[in-house]
Structure 1
Amino acid sequence: MDAESQERFREFVESRSGALLRTAVLLSGGDRHAAEDLLQTALVKVADRWSRVDEPEAYVRQVLYRQQVGRWRLKWPRREVAVAEPPERADDGGEGAAELRVVMRGALARLTARQRAVLVLRYFEDLPEADVARILGCSVGTVRSTTHRSLARLRALAPELAALGPATAGIAPPRGISPVEVRP
């Protein structure tokens, strides 16, 4: 990598690492250490190809997703440990936003890695189903069914999200599904 490319890469990492780390945290189920490892691995892979990358952020995100997919396809998957931690920094949203973040992070951590990846791509990254299918290497139908099952499981795992209301839940339901429906 020449000096100019190296400087552009350094500037990219400095400016976008916070957003990329937040995505990695969501993909890793709230485990910050695993997220840092995931992001570090993705950035190392991107650094090797930096001079040929047209859209750096999109490329890094795709590497992040593929790395995470590779982790849950391992023959001997690592055990995930769900840890309830308060957020590291508060948003301007106040106490309700902090509480929502903690609840959502805990609920996402209890989903499977595939379910979590689909929800992060669909709702956090706001990607269409076709793009999610392409990134994860599956069909659009698989994305739809996984999204449906994941949202149902998320609602079952964290019924307290229903009390916060659909507007603050941060996840829009798929078409034809009521925003928050919790049955006893």
Structure 2
Amino acid sequence: MEQEFTRWARARQQPLLRTAVLLCGDHHRAEDLVQDALTKVALRWSRLRDGHPDAYARQVMVRTNISWWRRHRREVVVELRDTTSGPGPAAEVDRRLLLDRALAQLTARQRTTVVLRFYEDLSERETAEAMGVGLGTVKSQTHVALARLRAVAPELAELLEEPT
């Protein structure tokens, strides 16, 4: 049983870390979120191994992050510059930096909603369950977040198409 968990944790550690970085915007805090999630999954592995350990790990990260930003609530304003350039690897880096700065313009709840819906590709219902909120909250937060992203980073418009 321990080997199963170890195998699962090794396979999922990097994908969970990528999600955590997008959720909180800080690599060090993201590592802590992943560590907390892996610890909690390990403690419940006998019940989770045949179910959905990934979903549980995501839920732990989201809720731990929500608890953190409730305790440390502050508004951070970042000024965006136009960093788009021509095609090539440098343009991809510029686009990623622009996306990171645009995500930083969102509230923590909006950012979480966008990451779960569009990066993790969760449904509205799955996102609501992971965040511990109602379906309407996910819908409204998604709408407001996408509108804000369009306003602060119009260069990313093709990435921000709402699903129909």
Match of 1:144 in 2: 139
2: CA distance, partners of 1:70 / 1:79: 16
Residue aligned with 1:63, SS: helix
Higher fraction of helix: 2
Q: Specify the code of the residue in structure 2 equivalent to 1:58.
A: A
Unaligned runs of 5+ in 1: 85-92, 176-184
Q: Specify the code of the residue in structure 1 equivalent to 2:63.
A: R
- Equivalences, count: 154
Matched, 1:123 2:112: no
2: CA distance, partners of 1:109 / 1:158: 11
Q: TM-score, normalised to structure 1's length?
A: 0.74
Q: Percent identity?
A: 49
Matched, 1:20 2:9: no
Match of 1:11 in 2: 7
Q: CA RMSD in A?
A: 2.3
Shift of 1:159: 2.6
Shift of 1:144: 1.0
Q: TM-score, normalised to structure 2's length?
A: 0.82
Equivalent of residue 155 in structure 1, options 137, 146, 150: 150
Equivalent of residue 100 in structure 2, options 98, 102, 105: 105
Q: Specify the code of the residue in structure 2 equivalent to 1:141.
A: G
Unaligned runs of 5+ in 2: 81-87
Matched, 1:49 2:44: yes
Residue aligned with 1:66, SS: helix
Match of 2:64 in 1: 67
Shift of 1:108: 0.9
